[in-house]
Chain A
Amino acid sequence: MAETENLITVKDLTKTYQTGSVEVFALKAISLTINKGEFVAIMGASGSGKSTFMNIVGCLDNPTNGEYLMEGKDVLTRDKDELAELRNSKLGFVFQSFNLLPRTSAQENVELPLLYNNKVEASVRKQKAIEALTSVGLADRLGAMPNELSGGQQQRVAIARALVNAPLIIMADEPTGNLDSKTSYEIMGIFQKLNDEGITVVMVTHEPDIAQFAKSNIVFKDGKIIANHAVKDRKIAMEELKKIANLTDENSTT
């Protein structure tokens, strides 16, 4: 069991960028293990290397040096196509700017990863997309175009798209960066629910209150991990939302 619990293991992960003659270190020998069922919030100021780390773990970018194992298997030796398959089947991405395809209905956006997955039959594609959208509470907006949806709804579509191939990990890069706090809490609620169902969540954020919804926090500074601790007083989204609801009720009565 111990081995399967080690979902992601990175060792001495280094990333450098060449700007002119100067070599800039984005990541300096990062070593980290993320277990199955974790909910990790990665924090840090901009330029601290947290997004670079996220992109490498998400197989979107390659490190300059280091080792990366997923489920005990080497990732970095794989070629571009194998990485694409890995992203398709094991990873789900949620971005700050939602990154939905414009002029494409919610359902079609969610179907997209299934179209790139050979194992999914055409007959179940629609059904899977509807299931994923239902699980994020958008069963009634299947045919809506992104520009007809609010920011929170767009992010839910993006989460549904990340979910639809039943991934091991959801990688979220500032998922609440463009959302108000109430909607942010709703999104966190969805992540917490998914995490309870066994999906590992890795989330980058610079908002401390959002990080409080995770199980553990990792703090980056200048390309290094300066803190890695479990979250005390973890916030539960459903409770926070109730508090907000009570507040507005009180306001309206007074």
Chain B
Amino acid sequence: MKFFNLFRIAYRSLNRNKLRSFLTMLGIIIGVASVIAMLAIGEGSNQTIQKSIASLGTNSIYIFPGTNANGGVRGGAGSNQTLKLEDADAIAAHCDLVKYVTPLVQRKSQIIFGAKNWNTMIIGIRNDYMLIRSLSITKGSGFSEADQRSAAKVCLVGVTVIFNLFGDENYNPIGQIIRINSIPVKIVGVLAKMGQNTFGQDQDDIVLAPFYTVQKRMMISTDHIGSILASGKSELQVVDAVDQITSLLREKHKIAPSDDIDFTVRTQSELSNIFGSITKVMTILLASIAGISLLVGGIGIMNIMLVSVTERTREIGIRMAIGAKGKDVLFQFVIESILISVVGGIIGIVVGVLAAEMVATFGGWPVVITPLSIILSFGFSSAIGLFFGWYPARKAAALNPIDALRYE
């Protein structure tokens, strides 16, 4: 039997029953379209969640100096000054799992503008800091490399500081000179409002200045740095990055493997774990919705094909009487159901993409259509056509010609 002939027979047969073919197809169309739309919406939400979690700093790594034990009395974390600028430079140079790194020095200082003054945290940073913390600047600009090298007297300020020094959050302070520890410093930029962190701390009550500006001009000791902030290449690599940093600093600080380290490395692993479980729940949810809708579509196909075998018993009898073999009938029905599911799958992809775009346009919801979801749903719908078409087709092929002809 020529395949093309069977294809023609199946096509004619579907064409003869347009409404029935369409209704069967509708099951697959809805199945595939909903899978694609679901996955697009789900993937969009997933990426949004990923972004917002990443902005919380799940891949951030904090390195603090170790504790100081003096005559059996141990100070708290950071009570010993063991970290130096060269440690930060070494991490940047040697740890390939670390993406960004910045040394930090910070102190509480009184800042003065005109008749107003305010006590706030001054942090000396390298430009990587902005990237690790996902900070953005609403007005003005950040520090240039020249500012960093020359310990320029410039700063970035948070909105709480602006409110307290200038009386209005929305005031544009670019170019104004404020005094920090009686050093005149020019405001070059305003940080985007961050609000409070999870512990109720006001993250906008902050002044950022180039690292050397703070270290050399405002600190008493210039040997040591307060801490180091780094970020891993990805959330998943944070743990490995921590190991890299630990062994590097161990070596640099010449600590024997049996001794305790004189620094502390911390990550926000709880957040990473939460992030991981959210992604997992999301994936399971989406996969089950996708699976169920495709299964329903497939059962729809089987239902119609079964009914159609019974309804068309006489037709099968006629075909057999004029020379159709069992396998001709089998292939006719299988091809019919594959045609339905493939054509339904293609229409479903179009409808699904349109639906997702509509959600994005009118619902303002982020959607991401992945090629995988298209391949997956299309492949699955074809497979379902084959699987659910096979049983009714077998039933049709097994009919005895004379019984089929006599069927009323």
Choice from A87, A115, A117 contacting B8 with Cβ under 8 Å: A115
Contact call B322/A161, Cβ cutoff below 8 A: yes
Q: CB-CB contacts of B1-43 with A at 8 A, as 1s and 0s?
A: 1101100110010001100000000000000000000000000
State whether B318 touches A118 (Cβ < 8 A). Answer: no
> Per a CB cutoff under 8 Å, which of A87, A102, A103 touches B323?
A87
In the bound complex, residues from chain B placing their C-beta under 8 Å from that of A61 are: 400-402
Are B9 and A84 in contact (CB-based, < 8 A)? Answer: no
B322 touches A87 (CB 8 A): yes
Residues on A with C-beta less than 8 A from B8 are: 115
Chain B residues lying within 8 Å of A95, measured Cβ to Cβ, are 405
Docked-complex contact B402 and A60, CB < 8 angstroms: yes
Are A88 and B315 interface neighbours, CB within 8 A? no
Chain B residues touching A, range: 20 to 34
Nearest Cβ on chain B to A159's Cβ, whole angstroms: 12
Q: List residues of A (44-97) whose CB comes within 8 Å of B's CBs.
A: 55, 58, 60-61, 80-81, 84-85, 87-89, 93, 95
Interface of B is mostly: helix
Is A113 a contact partner of B322 (Cβ separation < 8 A)?
A: yes
B322 touches A88 (CB 8 A): yes
Closest to B397 in A: A80
Give every chain A residue within 8 A of B314 (Cβ-Cβ). 99
Docked complex Cα distance between A55 and B402 (Å): 7
Residue in A58, A101, A103 whose CB lies within 8 Å of B318:
A101
Q: Which of B16, B315, B323 contacts A117 (CB 8 A)?
A: B323
Residues of A within 8 A of B1 (CB): 116, 118
What B residues does A147 contact at CB under 8 A? Answer: none
Closest to B401 in A: A60
Pick the residue among B318, B325, B402 that contacts A84 (CB under 8 A). Answer: B325
Q: Is the CB of A85 within 8 A of B402?
A: no
Q: Are A101 and B315 in contact (CB under 8 A)?
A: yes
Q: How far does the alpha carbon of A115 sit from the alpha carbon of B328 in the complex, in Å?
A: 10
CA distance A181 to B264 in the complex (A): 108
> What 0/1 readout, one digit per residue, does chain B (319-332) give for beta carbons within 8 Å of chain A?
11111111110000
Taking a contact as CB atoms under 8 Å apart, the answer to whether A103 and B9 are in contact is no
B327–A81 contact, CB under 8 A? yes
- Whole-angstrom CA separation of A88 from B318 in the bound complex: 11
* Contacts known (A61-B402, A104-B12); A99 close to B318, Cβ less than 8 A: yes
| A84 contact set on B, CB distance < 8 A | 320, 323-326, 328
What are the residues of chain A within 8 A of B317 when measuring CB–CB? 99
Q: Could you say which residues of chain A place their CB within 8 Å of the CB of B2?
A: 118
Name which residue of chain B comes closest to A100, CB basis: B318
| A residues near B325, Cβ cutoff 8 Å | 80-81, 84-85, 116
Chain A interface residue count: which class? 20 to 34
A residues near B322, Cβ cutoff 8 Å: 87-88, 93, 112-113, 116, 161-162
Task: Indicate if A122 sits at the interface (CB-CB under 8 A).
Answer: yes
Would A116 and B323 count as touching, CB distance under 8 A? yes
Question: What's the minimum C-beta distance from A175 to chain B, rounded to whole angstroms?
Answer: 14
Cβ of B69 to closest chain A Cβ, rounded Å: 92
Q: CB-CB < 8 A to B402: which residues of A? A: 55, 60-61
Q: Given the complex, which residues of B lie within 8 Å of A88, measured CB to CB? A: 322-324
In the bound assembly, the distance between CA atoms of A95 and B323 in angstroms comes to 15
**Cα–Cα, bound, A85→B328 (Å):** 11
Residue with the greatest number of chain A CB neighbours at <10 A, chosen from B8, B323, B328: B323
CB < 8 Å neighbour of A116 from B324, B400, B401: B324
With CB as the reference atom, state the residue of chain A lying closest to B322.
A113
Contact bitstring B374-403, A, C-beta under 8 A = 1, else 0: 000000000000000000000000001110
Q: Does A38 interact with chain B (Cβ within 8 Å)?
A: no
Which residues B318-367 have CB closer than 8 A to chain A?
Answer: 318-328
Min Cβ gap B74→A in Å is 91
Q: Are A93 and B16 in contact (CB under 8 A)?
A: no
From residue A101, how far is it (CB to closest CB) to chain B in Å? 6
Contacts of A103 in B (CB 8 A): 16-17
Are B323 and A99 in touch, CB under 8 angstroms?
no
Is A108 among interface residues, defined by CB-CB distance under 8 A? yes
Known: A85-B323, A104-B12, A112-B9; 20 extra A-B contacts, CB below 8 A, are: A60-B401, A61-B400, A61-B401, A80-B325, A80-B326, A81-B326, A87-B323, A88-B322, A93-B322, A95-B405, A101-B318, A102-B16, A102-B315, A104-B16, A112-B319, A113-B322, A115-B9, A116-B323, A161-B322, A165-B323
A-B contact pairs, 8 of them (CB 8 A): A95-B405, A101-B318, A103-B16, A113-B322, A115-B8, A116-B5, A162-B322, A165-B323
| B residues lining the A interface (CB < 8 Å) | 1-2, 4-5, 8-9, 12, 16-17, 314-315, 317-328, 400-402, 405
User: Which 4 A-B pairs rank lowest in CB-CB distance, beginning with the nearest?
Assistant: A88-B323, A84-B325, A60-B402, A103-B16
